[in-house]
Chains A and B, each alone.
Chain A
Amino acid sequence: MPKDDVDILLVEDSPEDAELTLHSLRRNNLANRIHWARDGEEGLDFLFCRGPHSSRSFRHPPKVVLLDLKLPKVDGLEILRQMKEDPRTRPIPVVVLTSSREEADVVRGYRNGANSYVQKPVDFDQFREAVRQLGLYWMVTNEPPPDTTYSRG
């Protein structure tokens, strides 16, 4: 497995949220290979293997993307749109992290694009439980798409 292989891409601007998420993932032994993108632009660079991430290959996409909606520069829905428009990134599962039920409503409107969504609760225990289940589901249960899907990159 090459060293730039990443299991989870976390796109999150808030360091606190990122740290709490990483902490939760770590506690569930899921944080081995996580890349944290701090804004939308970096998230896109990572996904589309450009800029600082031009050395990456579409052949090794993350197994899941945890995507915050409210992001500086490029927001989460735009990232989702671009991912789903491009056949190279379309198969990557996306879990949207919403900070309110209102945002959850918005995501429901993009249901075709997002594979799942999780509302970040104020109660950290609940959040951690949600992240644990998500991580397990996407990392363990869910079979990632076969490599051939990415061959065009």
Chain B
Amino acid sequence: MKGYLKSFVPWGIALSLALVVGAAALSYRNLLEQTEDSEWVAHTHVVIERMEVLRAEVWKVENARRGYVLTGDPQFLARFSAGRDEIQKSQGALRALTADNPVQQKHLEELQPLIEKRLGLLDRSLAVHNAKQPDDAQQAALTLPGADLTEQIMAAIDAMETQEKELLQKRTERAQESGRRSRILVPVGMAVTIVLIVAAFVLLRREVVERTRAEEQVQVLVETLEQRVRERTAELEAQANTQREQAALLDLAHDSIFVRDVNNAIQFWNRGAEETYGWRKDEVLGKVTHSLLHTQFPEPLPKIEADILEHGRWEGELVHTRRDGSQIVVDSRWALQRGEDGSPTGVLELNREITERKRAEEEIRTLNRTLEHRVDQRTSALAETIKELEAFTSSVAHDLRAPLRHVDGFGRILQEEYAEQLGPEGKALLDRVRRATQHMGELVDDLLNLSRVSRRELSPVMTDLNTLAGEVIEDLKAGCERRHVEFRAGPLPFVVCDPGLIRQVYTNLLANAVKFTRPRDPAIIEVGQSDCNGRRALFVRDNGVGFSMKYADKLFGVFQRLHRPEDFEGTGVGLVTVQRIVHKHNGRIWAEAEVDRGAAFYFTLEGLEERRSAESPRPAGGVHAQG
């Protein structure tokens, strides 16, 4: 229903009521007036009637006196007396009836002495008659004024009647007026009422229609709501079923799984948890996990809680106490549950018991420690032995060196100061003695060097191999000025290595290359890097005499030589030293060669792979040395 109509209703009802009540009140008042008027009309008729009665009584009394006087019959006297009372009575009645009318009261007051006077005359007439005196005269004397009086009385009564009839006339008119008003007022009132009733009916009908429509709409809404409630209920039931199924699935897990709310009160507790901790589900629901299980945390709980709030999860090892008091170690994983509004609602905690594993790990650690200790002991014992051996080698080499020096020194003096006595053959022999001595000196020096390299601690720094190899090449060029040697240096990487030792590697390999290319013109010696089976290797390649791969396994043996000393001098220690250095850099060294077609030595170093991007490009062609 519309708003204005709503506010209209009380006012409408009030107005209708006012109209109906007004019409009714008007009608009612009119009716009262009409009734009153009618009563007054009737009253007037009664008054007039009573006046006629009075007139008749007066006449009756006079007639009675006349009859008595004429006949002497006492019956007339009785009538006289009765008439006399009636006159009094009528007079009283009239006085009462016209109490509201001062004009009539005045008339009555004027009438009363006249009547009394007349009655007095009549009484006297009667008295005269009773005295039996000659009475005709007296009677006549009494009769004449009596007739005048009667005339006056009649006139008075006439006046009163006239008055009353005028009143009657007025009252009748008024009654008729009231009746007319009633005839108008009543239909008007009824019409108003009918109009109001019709209006009320129309309004009510409209209201009913609207209410019905509203009720229908409400009904539709209610049905929609009910439908949604049914759907939601079904959904929730399905969800609950799923959850029950999932919970049942969780029960299958061997891990203990439980859910706790934001106050750490347990909400869910699977069978795994029952088995692990010895507490049944119905015993733990609502309890606080950390106090139930006496949880020992690896870090302060507030930190863990801050962690899980920030990342949504946490992992760590916890120590829990079971129902029987025994302690277990669990690998614990926590996941934060959030409500639809994103606020935390609880934590899913998944614990796997790792007590055994921890024990095994501890055992392994203990064993490892023992093992490490033994390895350390063995290592230090070995290191000690190696040190002793090397000291021995060093000392032997050292001590061997001095006599060699002396042989050579004194040989030289002999050669210089006693040349004449020796003769050419003696000098030649002495030459061979000195060459042998010097070769042995080289052997000893190389051995000492190998021993030094082996014992030396690596001092790795970032090294530019381009510079390093370039410097070695420059040094070597000086020794082959009378030959045609072409050095080609490809781009080399930066590597973290011991530059002193790697310089030795390049020195030994390049010196070998120079040596074994002696018959070549031009000799071509290359340094560079290449991919070998996916691994990056550095190489030194030459076009020298090469060697047969048959003997490749002997390359890196101490004092092993693949060439005759008269062809190519050497001690057989240089490559061993190179190999030792490469191994110290966790690298590998190998050779590829063919007789008369050159040799190539490849080696890798730890950290070579990672440094690919650091290489500096170098123009092709490289460094050339030409004699």
Residues of A in contact with B (beta carbons under 8 Å apart): 14, 16-17, 20, 23, 70, 99-102, 105, 120-125, 127-128
Contact = CB atoms under 8 A, between A and B. Distances in A.
Contacts of B442: 122
A99 B402 contact: yes
B256 interface: no
Given A101-B448, A101-B452, A122-B437, A127 B398 contact: no
A120 B401 CA distance: 9
B406 A20 contact: yes
Nearest to B412: A124
B410 A20 contact: yes
A17 B441 CA distance: 15
B411 interface: yes
A100 B397 contact: yes
B445 interface: yes
Contact of A127 (B394, B397, B405, B411): B405
Nearest to B449: A101
Q: Is the interface of A mostly helix, strand, loop or mixed?
A: helix
A17 B412 contact: no
Interface in B398-447: 398, 401-406, 408-413, 437-438, 440-442, 444-445
Interface string B361-405: 000000000000000000000000000000000100110011111
B445 A101 contact: yes
Contacts of B405: 16-17, 20, 99, 120-122, 124, 127
A125 B406 contact: no
B448 A122 contact: no
A127 B402 contact: no
Contact of A124 (B409, B448, B449): B409
6 contacts: A16-B406, A102-B448, A122-B404, A122-B405, A122-B444, A123-B441
Given A99-B401, A100-B398, A122 B452 contact: no
A20 B409 contact: yes
A153 B101 CA distance: 182
A14 B399 CA distance: 11
B405 to A, nearest CB: 5
A121 B440 CA distance: 12
Given A20-B405, A102-B452, A123-B438, 13 more contacts: A16-B403, A20-B410, A23-B409, A99-B401, A100-B397, A100-B398, A101-B448, A102-B394, A105-B452, A122-B441, A123-B408, A123-B441, A127-B409
A23 B402 CA distance: 16
A127 B405 CA distance: 9
A147 B152 CA distance: 204
B571 to A, nearest CB: 13
B448 A100 contact: yes
B394 A124 contact: no
B410 A16 contact: yes
A127 B441 CA distance: 13
A14 B413 CA distance: 17
B119 to A, nearest CB: 189
B29 to A, nearest CB: 146
Contacts of B438: 122-123
A103 B440 CA distance: 19
Contacts of A121: 405, 441
